[in-house]
Amino acid sequence: MNYKNIVIEGNIGAGKTTCAKSLASQLSARLILEEFENNPFLPQFYSNKDRYAFQVELFFLAERYHQLSKNLLGDIFNEYTVYDYHFSKSAIFSKINLREDEHLLFQNLFRIMDRFMPKPDILIYIHMSVNQILSQIKKRGRTFEELISSDYLQAVQTSYFSFFREETSFPIVVLELNQTETNTPEKVLSYVNDVLSKKWPHGLSFNHY
């Protein structure tokens, strides 16, 4: 396989962590998961975005940087590494959540840190409709996520694609999932394996399923 460092991304509730875990198990890969439960500001953020947005984003930025920095040298025991997020997630969400003055400060910090972050061999984005995502969020039953609106999820999706259109240093493949079918975790994993079996150009590509 052409890809050793694989990122699985997606909107909130798209199933990226479930997919990353399954793929890592299949490949006997090192698995690096975002530790979002450690963010003490997240529950308050969903009920009071203006008050807690900057704290949430700064905490995530620092956590992601420390976690990825510890893994820069790779692992001699695992040929593959699978991540359920990319460092650019901090820039993507800060663009939505922060006021203009806060965002300018945040971007300065992000750019300093981003220079030291490794680029993946491929990023695979699980793309589904906002209605599908709302349904999946409801199923997993995290109380603080019940306050997430469809408008917010749409803004997240738009911000991801804005980033994808500008990023040309590695392949980004969007899995366009069929909205009329039930996309089980097993199906999504099979789609990811299909993507990984092919060679992709740098920049944004789409694959429909």
What would the two tokens of residue 86 be?
């990319």
Q: Determine contact, residues 34/64, Cβ cutoff 8 Å.
A: yes
Q: Determine contact, residues 23/73, Cβ cutoff 8 Å.
A: no
- The type of residue at 89 is K
| Angle, CA 133 vertex, CA 129 and CA 136 arms, to 5° | 145
**What is d(CA 1, CA 4) in angstroms, rounded to the nearest whole number?**
8
Is 75 one of the annotated active-site residues of the chain? no
Q: Which distant-in-sequence residues (6+ apart) come within 8 Å of 85 by Cβ?
A: 7, 9, 16, 33, 34, 64
Whose tokens are 């308050």? That residue is: 44
The catalytic position among 75, 84, 151, 194 is 84
Give the burial class of 146: count Cβ atoms within 10 A of its Cβ; 0-12 exposed, 13-18 middle, 19 or more buried. Answer: exposed
In 3D space, the residue among 134, 142, 132, 145 whose CA is nearest the CA of residue 184 turns out to be 132
Active-site residues, by number, are 84
